């Protein structure tokens, strides 16, 4: 297990990404997120659809401009707005594996061109070397060198996600955002892709932000887990401890409503169903974001936004007035 506090590789401070949609309406997609990911650590990021998980991942990598706040990599602040030279520099260190292996691969390019594109963009002009590296990476992700000349439509969903993984890792980045990498895949191939990521993490010493809505999967792959709701973090702690002993009311209902594949574990878990829909992130009201659905809501929750603060005697941070 990694001690994330000793070796943070990626940190955000009060990171915010708003989208102005006109008529004085602003979508608070990411709102004041401070998070750190330790070297060789997998940080799981969970929450319902619309909680801002993917926007957070993309804002960290500069695919969305920040509205405010900061992101730093090994102590060095990343640019507020990315120019093309910044992508050139930082894409060598930080990469993304996208959710949808169908739309994220250019159908007009061969697999060899897709996987080798990063090398060519980073000034590797020797075509023979590029071909060798592509063949090596196709083999590392369980494909074959002769797949290089084929097109994405000739592959299954699981194979396409392997191509996406090879494309992200060929530059040997130090930090990866995996944005729901298995949600578009058949259940039968999800475990294969997860196992592949686990093996690559061990052999390459990867650090990852692993975004998913399947909590039992996140518990399985992650060292720590962060729970996000309506653009903000609600709870952060060791993955197993958060899963089996959630402190925040949102984490509790999120876990309670998530089916657990192991029947022994399922029997001993509290079962609570999450009520209602996640509210609109447009012009978010003051107070706790979860107040409209929280079974433990109090008067103070409607007035004051609780900060994410460490709990006493336990390695956990929670944003809830029950603990203040």
Among 44, 112, 116, 306, binds ligand SF4 (CB under 6 A): 306
Work out how close the CB of 297 gets to ligand SF4 at its nearest, in angstroms, rounded to a whole number.
4
3-state class (DSSP) for residue 12: strand
Task: Give the nearer residue to ligand SF4 in terms of CB position, either 2 or 297.
Answer: 297
x-or-dash pattern for ligand SF4, window 206-245, by CB under 6 A?
Answer: ----------------------------------------
Residue 95 to residues 65, 102, 106, 152, 160, Cα–Cα distance (Å): 16, 18, 17, 20, 17
- Between residues 19 and 323, which has the closer beta carbon with respect to ligand SF4? 323
Q: Are 321 and 288 in contact (CB under 8 A)?
A: yes
Distance CA 1, CA 224 (A): 10
32/15 Cα distance (integer angstroms): 5
Which of these, 67, 82, 80, 70, lies nearest to 18 by C-alpha position?
67
Among 301, 308, 316, 317, binds ligand SF4 (CB under 6 A): 301
Give every CB contact of residue 192 below 8 A, 6+ residues apart in sequence: 142, 158
Q: How far is the CB of 72 from ligand SF4 (least distance, A)?
A: 29
Which token pair is 300?
A: 């103070």
The neighbouring-strand residues paired with 17 are 30
In sequence order, the 6+-apart residues with CB closer than 8 A to the CB of 135 are 145, 148
Stretch that binds ligand SF4, among 21-29, 134-142, 196-204, 314-322 (CB under 6 A): 314-322
Q: Which is nearer to ligand SF4, 282 or 322 (CB)?
A: 322
CB nearer to ligand SF4: give 127 or 302: 302
The DSSP 8-state label assigned to residue 16 in this structure reads: E
Closest approach, Cβ 213 to ligand SF4, in A, equals 19
Short-list 101, 95, 216, CA closest to 152: 101
320 contacts ligand SF4 (rule: CB under 6 A):
yes
HEC profile of 51-107: CCHHHHHHHHCCCCCCCEEEEEECCEECCCCCCHHHHHHHCCCEEEECCCCCCCCCC
Q: Cβ distance 232 to 281 under 8 Å?
A: no
Q: Which of residues 240-299 bind ligand SF4 (CB under 6 A)?
A: 249, 288, 290-291, 294, 296-298
Q: In the bound complex, what is the minimum distance in angstroms from residue 98's beta carbon to ligand SF4?
A: 32
Contacts with ligand SF4: how many residues (CB under 6 A)? 13
| Distances from the Cα of 303 to the Cα of 14, 251, 288, 298, angstroms | 21, 21, 8, 10
Q: Which is nearer to ligand SF4, 101 or 287 (CB)?
A: 287
User: Whole-angstrom Cα distance, residue 54 to residue 201?
Assistant: 21
Q: Toward ligand SF4, which CB reaches closer, 34 or 110? A: 34
In angstroms, give the least distance from the CB of 284 to ligand SF4.
Answer: 13
- Taking the complex as a whole, how short is the minimal distance between the CB of residue 309 and ligand SF4, in angstroms? 12
**Nearest distance, CB of residue 217 and ligand SF4, angstroms:** 25
Least distance between ligand SF4 and beta carbon 301 (Å): 3
Q: In terms of CB distance, is 82 or 290 closer to ligand SF4?
A: 290
Q: Name the residues that contact ligand SF4, by CB under 6 A.
A: 249, 288, 290-291, 294, 296-298, 301, 306, 320-322
């Amino acid at each position: 297990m990694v001690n994330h506090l000793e070796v943070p590789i990626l940190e955000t401070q009060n990171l915010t990404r708003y989208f102005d949609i006109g008529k004085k309406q602003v979508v608070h997609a990411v709102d004041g997120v401070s998070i750190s990911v330790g070297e060789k650590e997998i940080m799981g990021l969970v929450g319902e659809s619309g909680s801002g998980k993917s926007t957070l991942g993309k804002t960290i990598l500069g695919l969305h401009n920040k509205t405010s706040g900061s992101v730093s990599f090994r102590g060095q602040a990343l640019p507020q707005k990315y120019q093309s030279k910044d992508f050139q520099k930082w894409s060598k260190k930080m990469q993304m594996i996208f959710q949808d292996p169908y739309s994220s691969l250019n159908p007009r390019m061969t697999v060899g061109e897709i996987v080798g594109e990063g090398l060519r963009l980073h000034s590797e002009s020797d075509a023979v070397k590029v071909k060798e590296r592509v063949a090596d990476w196709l083999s590392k992700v369980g494909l074959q060198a002769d797949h290089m000349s084929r097109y994405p439509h000739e592959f299954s969903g699981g194979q396409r996600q392997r191509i996406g993984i090879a494309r992200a890792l060929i530059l040997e980045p130090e930090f990866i955002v995996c944005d729901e990498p298995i949600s578009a895949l058949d259940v039968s191939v999800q475990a294969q892709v997860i196992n592949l990521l686990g093996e690559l993490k061990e052999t390459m010493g990867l650090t990852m932000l692993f975004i998913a809505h399947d909590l039992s999967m996140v518990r399985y792959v992650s060292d720590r887990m962060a729970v996000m709701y309506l653009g903000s973090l609600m709870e952060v702690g060791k993955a197993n401890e958060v899963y089996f002993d959630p402190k925040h009311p949102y984490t509790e209902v999120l876990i309670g409503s998530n089916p657990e594949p192991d029947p022994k574990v399922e029997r001993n878990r509290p079962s609570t169903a999450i009520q209602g829909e996640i509210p609109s992130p447009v012009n978010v009201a003051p107070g706790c974001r979860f107040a409209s659905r929280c079974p433990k809501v109090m008067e103070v929750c409607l007035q004051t936004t609780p900060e994410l603060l460490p709990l006493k005697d336990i390695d956990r941070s929670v944003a809830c007035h029950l603990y203040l």
